[in-house]
Structures are given as C-alpha cells and as structure tokens.
Amino acid sequence: MSQTHMAREVAEIPEAAARFLERSRDAVADAAAALRRKDPDLVVTVARGSSDHAATYLKYAIELEAGVPVASVGPSIASIYRRPLRLGKAACIGISQSGRSPDGVEMMRASGQGGALSIAITNVEDSPMAQVSAHCLPLQAGEEKSVAATKTFVCSVLAGLSLLAEWREDHALQDAVAALPEAFGQAVGLDWSPLSARLARASSAFVLGRGPSFAIACESALKFKETSGIHAEAYSAAEVLHGPAAIVQAGFPVLALGIEDAALPQLKATAERLAAQGADVFVTGTEVGGAVTLPSVPGLHPLVAPLVTIAGFYAFIEGLARRRGFDPDTPPHLRKVTETV
C-alpha cells in the first residue's frame, strides 16, 4: 500500500499547528478579549465525534485553569426539541471540522440567541457554524482527506488552549502552547511497536486516562474502532474500577495514558491493579510495575502533554490499521463529513 492520507496528515501536524499559531493569532486575541469582558460563570460546548473529545479536553483545561464549570450541551435541544436555553452568563464553544452539521449549527445559533458569547472552532472559516457565531477561530489545518480526523483534532484542541491561555493571560501556558509544534514533531516519530505487536490480533481493549488525558483516551478508543476494528472503550482511571474492571482477565490489553499531574499516582495505582489481574498493560508518561512503558515526550506543561501524546498515538494507530489489513483512510460505513439533525 502506498502512503495513506492519514499518514501524510499525521506528519503534517507540526506544520499545521505552527500555521494556526501564526495565522489565527488575531482571532484568538479578539475572542479572548470578549471572554474577559463576558466573564462567564459557565462554558457550554457543542460538538460530536472527535470534536466532542476535543471539547472534553477543553472542559478539563478550562475548569483547571479558570475555575469555570464546563458542560456539553446536546445539539438536539435546539435542532429537534427547539427548547431555548438561558445562557446569559455563559460562553458557548462549538467545535466542528466542517462547521456544517445542521444540529451543531442550530445549537450555536440558539446559544447566541439565549445570551451566550458564541465562539466557533472550525477548519472552514466561512462555514455555517462560523457564520452564526460571534467569533471564529479558523484551524488553518488544510484539507483533511482521511475520514479519521487527526490534524484537525489536534488543531481544535490547540485553538482552545490558545484561547484559554490568552483569556487567562497565563504566560506559562502561552509559552507551552507556542512550543507545541516542536513537541508534535518529536511525538510523531516515537516507536510504539510493542503495543502494535500486542494488538495485531486483539478484538478489544481499554484506554484509561484522568483529567485532560481522559479526553485523549476517548479519542484513542474511537480511533481503535474506526481505523483498526478493535472494540476499545475509554474510561477514567477511577471509573474503570466501578464495574468495568470485572471483565479484565489474563491477557486483556489496557493502554493507560499518564501525564505528570496530580492524577498520576491514582492512574498508576489503577494500572498496577489491572496488571495484577493479568492484563497486558501499556503506559505512557510513567513506569508501572508489571506494565510496558511506551516512549513519550518529557517535560511538558500538564495541560498540553496529553495533546502531544495523541499525536504519537495517531502515528501508531495508522500503522496498526495497515498491519491488521485495514485502510485507515476509508473506515467501513463512515463518511468524512457527517451531518445530523
């Protein structure tokens, strides 16, 4: 097989990130200034699929950085049920690669009508979602041909983190965001071949995270499904102990995504417990007894580290898909742009 679109697009992540940081600087500054003026008591997000995982990432980042609660709102509240929401003290962030899905567009329109400050994050600057929002952060990611989103997911989270750093005027986070293109370049070259060998014939797996890395666990589990035919499920490293761990027996594959933050000790404890049950555990960002440690990019700000991890995961999953006989560009039964109402 010749190089896949997915492989090319993963390789483009560092360049796409640098392009966003350069070209969307003014849009980020304008939206951040609007957030400071609004001073929201609540942020709601509107997204589906990989974009919803980006929204989950931003939920944790905003709550940790700004102390403002973040909740996902179902687009059907506006598009099907036609129920207005009172959002006068809220900001609403919509995330969509295409900006075209009717339900997301309608929810963004309704959020503005309900009093929210509406901000669209999309790869299509003149899309319907952008047009109904007060502000738009264009991803500048370039065309993405593979059905499986990679560079647009990374740039969506990057856009949100850039906005957060500017809104809160957090210089440490601003510096960490500015350094991301270089970190992505390191991540896409990491060797996760031990995990690839283990999953070559696997049918299921767990992916664990905590805080922002839980969002990356969700995105990873989706990619296992859509590119490689593996029924992977994402869990918080706490939630997995409330029932799901019962099916973990000898040889069950588990990927635990660790980052250096306050949640790391608990994630390690969960990984050790599952390894003791006989699971084949693989970890990033730390070492765990009975587990295989996968390489990661060290020394990163905890709010950007999970995003760098997913760039490395994307390079891994593209290779795993081909190893298992799948074309990661064209998952069965899926289309690049999914429009729901």
Per residue in 104-152, pLDDT (tens digit) is 999 999 999 999 999 999 999 999 999 999 999 999 999 989 989 999 9
**DSSP code string of 111-134:** HHHTT-EEEEEES-TTSHHHHTSS
Closest C-alpha to 261, from 226, 214, 222, 312: 214
Instruction: Show the tokens assigned to 139.
Output: 């991803």
Neighbours of 81 (CB within 10 A): 8
Q: Out of 3.40.50.10490, 3.40.50.620, 3.20.20.140, 3.40.462.40, select the CATH number for domain 5-178.
A: 3.40.50.10490
pLDDT of residue 135: 98
pLDDT of residue 332: 76
Per residue in 194-210, pLDDT (tens digit) is 999 999 999 999 999 99
Average pLDDT over residues 274-280: 97
237 close to 256: Cβ distance less than 8 angstroms: yes
318: DSSP letter: H
| pTM, entire model | 0.96
Architecture of domain 187-323: 3-Layer(aba) Sandwich (3.40)
Burial class (CB in 10 A: 0-12, 13-18, 19+), 120: buried
pLDDT of residue 173: 99
Amino acid at the residue 49: G
* CATH 3.40.50.10490 domain extents, the chain: 5-178, 187-323
Per residue in 62-110, pLDDT (tens digit) is 999 999 999 999 999 999 999 999 999 999 999 999 999 999 999 999 9
pLDDT score of 217 more than 80: yes
Measure CA 157 to chain center.
Answer: 6
